[in-house]
Chain A
Amino acid sequence: MSVPIHPLAVSAYTVTSALGHGLHDHLHALDTARSDLRANDFSSAPLACWIGRVAGVENITLPSAFAAWECRNNRLAWLGLNQDGFADRVRAARERYGAERVALVLGTSTASIGATEEAYRRLDADGRMPADLRRPAIHVPHSLVAFVAEALGLEGPALTMSTACSSSAKVFASAERMIRLGLVDAAVVGGVDTLCDSVLFGFNALELVSPEPCQPFDRARRGISIGEAAGFALLERTDAHPDAPRLLGYGESSDAHHMSTPHPEGLGAEFALRDALARAGLEAAQVDYINLHGTASQKNDEVEAALVSRAFPATTRASSTKAFTGHTLGAAGILEAAFALLAMEHGLVPGNLGCNDPDPACGPQFAWRNEQKRIDIALSNSFGFGGNNACLAFGKAAA
């Protein structure tokens, strides 16, 4: 079923997370192995855990034309769009192709539910939402895409992908199909998720939140640290940008196992990997670096380490970057796609931060410290609740 694809150019990309605003801050943090997790100072009631909080979101106000979209998630989206000249690159694409020929496909798991939570904390005497939050469009999961479409002046197809933690990886697949079939000439993909009580207390109720900074693939790992992020990429045909890095392939699959626990043998994850390699026309041994899902949950890391061990030679380097940023949920796909792209561009294998005593399931592929290495092919894994898996394959521009 895996139809090989023509590569697409990733003509621009940007990310904003706890590590900072834009690519430079992210590269610097990777380079210096610096985590920016901090003790939880966000939730509306105390919760002892560590979070990846983006600095400065509270200080942002959306331009008055977008006032109806005010909420933390859209502020973070706005902050993210305005890094690395990304909004200008989209403007250029819009002028080149026409606003209706640029698709918008973004992933999010909770969108602006933080605003709905706030409304419930501030119900009036009649049990109604406070007047300033009686804005129906921010109480639906499409609020992010609707806002970004308006902010970027895009008039093409606009789709929200919400498959939990694989959301902003799967957007690359949807966009590729739209471009392949000629529905559009370019697509803005990405995702935004913000910290909110729902995810902090929800994952805590599932006993998946670590009381310490998360330790991906460590024998003593105790769970995830939740973070927030905004990231975007612009996809176009390669002839328009022959020197840009490329989306070579993607894989999508379902575990068919359990709502909140991965398949014990990583069956779905392996299907997604095989699908991505087949679409990209690659052998596993050609992969230089894999940015792993690596959440630091007991089961994910065990299953993913075993998959890496059985599928790749030691020359393929692998690491999780969750200890840098926390698990940014619906934004993890785009954030870690950006890490894979940065790794290729700068020949940097980011060390798997947070692990002092590797789980015995980890093979020789794991990079525990930073390594300098030419990276031509990089993968990024994203696995979500409901057994929803995605794997992205990126490559350098052909020499």
Chain B
Amino acid sequence: MSHWPVYVEGVGLWSPQLADFAALRAWLAGAPLPPPAARPAANVLPANERRRAPESVLLATEVAGQAVAMSGRQASDLACVFSSAYGDQAITDYMCETLARDPSALSPTRFHNSVHNAPAGYWTIATDCHAPSAAVCGYRASLGAGLLEAAMQTIADQRPVLLVCSDIAGTGPLGTMTESRQAFGCALVLVPQASPHSLARLELTPTRQSAATAAPSPLPATWHEANVTAAAALPLLLLLAGHGAHYTLATAGSVGLDIHLEEVA
């Protein structure tokens, strides 16, 4: 069985409770949480784009910007993989509602923002990135599918890759199907070799065990239950924050990824 080492150089995180990865570490160390933010700042986007961009794009570009800033790398040099279980549910809800009522009233801007790769598009435009950009999903295994795709690119082409996994809250009739209760996004900068910026080395091993296994979480259950992306990602972020060393993540129906963390810095 193959083992793939990847090095993490940057971590991004945003939820209504946690503004970044440092906030998670601080909370784990016992510090009180600052008041929740209304929405992701998404400072990487130019002001005019920030006003127009949908919530899914603000969330994804916010965590992407955090992770890249931590890595010290140029965003334009990074291939990127954006994963989301649901895409922009608010736009899907708007589109389906409008199409049912008055199809000719559909907004062209909201239509082009509805594509699953809208965050990848806004990100590459904002950072002048000509590298490959992917938008993927795998329903409940979207984080694992995204991590697998990003790790394959990192190792096969020996290049740094930005992985972004995010989902916003569901709305309308669609929201009752997705059960995404609140927004959650995270991002990792993965590289094939150790460097002074390495935060951790992750040893990835494919496994037939697809049921997620992680140490008991010190986090409030509601954070894990925010949506499927949060549920899959928080155990990995806990590893990176120094809580535990092993996590099995689902990447598809019957394939998992064993993650062993070796602390570097």
Contacts and interface: CB of A to CB of B under 8 A. Distances in A.
B265 interface: no
Range for the number of chain A residues in contact with chain B: 35 or more
Contacts of B120: 163, 254, 386, 388
B244 interface: no
A202 B95 contact: yes
Given A120-B99, A141-B116, A202-B108, A253 B130 contact: yes
Given A198-B111, A206-B112, A255 B255 contact: no
B86 to A, nearest CB: 6
A162 to B, nearest CB: 4
B166 interface: no
A258 B49 CA distance: 11
Interface in A343-399: 384-388
Interface string A135-170: 111011110011001000001111111111000001
A146 B139 contact: yes
Contact of B133 (A129, A202, A259, A388): A388
Nearest to B1: A182
A149 B253 contact: yes
B137 A140 contact: yes
Nearest to B93: A120
Contacts of A160: 136-138, 145
A116 B130 CA distance: 34
Nearest to A116: B96
B124 interface: yes
A197 B104 CA distance: 10
Contacts, number: 227
A202 B116 CA distance: 14
Contacts of A28: none
Interface string B172-191: 01101111000000000000
Nearest to A140: B139
Given A145-B138, A259-B112, A386 B118 contact: yes
B142 to A, nearest CB: 7
Contact of A253 (B121, B131, B157): B131
Nearest to A155: B254
Given A180-B156, A259-B112, A197 B125 contact: no
A243 B71 CA distance: 46
Nearest to A178: B152
Contacts of B263: none
A142 B146 CA distance: 13
B208 A159 contact: no
Contacts of B252: 149, 155-159
B103 A386 contact: no
Contact of B173 (A120, A178, A206): A120
A3 B156 contact: yes
Contacts of A136: 177-179
B103 A197 contact: yes
Contact of A129 (B76, B97, B176, B206): B176
A256 B152 CA distance: 23
A140 B149 contact: no
Contacts of B253: 146, 149, 155, 158
A88 interface: no
Given A140-B86, A141-B137, A157 B158 contact: no
Interface string B103-133: 1101110011111111011101101111111
Contacts of A177: 152-153, 156-157
A244 B132 CA distance: 28
A157 B251 contact: yes
Contacts of A67: none
Nearest to B251: A157
B138 A142 contact: yes
Nearest to B132: A252
A267 B173 contact: no
A201 B116 CA distance: 18
Nearest to B97: A120
Nearest to A270: B130
A45 B106 CA distance: 13
B92 interface: yes
B92 A257 contact: no
A181 interface: yes
B251 to A, nearest CB: 6
A3 to B, nearest CB: 5
Contacts of A201: 99, 103-104, 106, 111
Given A139-B178, A142-B137, A183 B111 contact: no
Given A113-B92, A255-B130, A386 B152 contact: no
B139 A44 contact: no
A183 B152 contact: yes
B243 interface: no
A121 interface: yes
Given A119-B173, A120-B96, A254-B129, A163 B135 contact: yes
Given A197-B99, A253-B132, A202 B139 contact: no
A385 B121 contact: yes
30 contacts: A1-B131, A3-B156, A45-B104, A113-B92, A117-B99, A121-B100, A139-B174, A142-B139, A146-B253, A160-B137, A160-B145, A162-B117, A163-B116, A173-B132, A177-B153, A183-B152, A198-B111, A201-B99, A204-B106, A205-B107, A205-B108, A252-B134, A254-B130, A255-B130, A256-B130, A259-B113, A260-B112, A384-B115, A387-B124, A387-B125
Interface of A: 1, 3, 43-45, 47, 100, 109, 113, 116-117, 119-121, 123, 127-129, 134-137, 139-142, 145-146, 149, 155-164, 170, 173-174, 177-178, 180-183, 197-198, 201-207, 252-260, 267-268, 271, 384-388
Given A44-B99, A120-B100, A142-B85, 6 more contacts: A139-B177, A197-B99, A203-B111, A205-B111, A253-B131, A259-B122
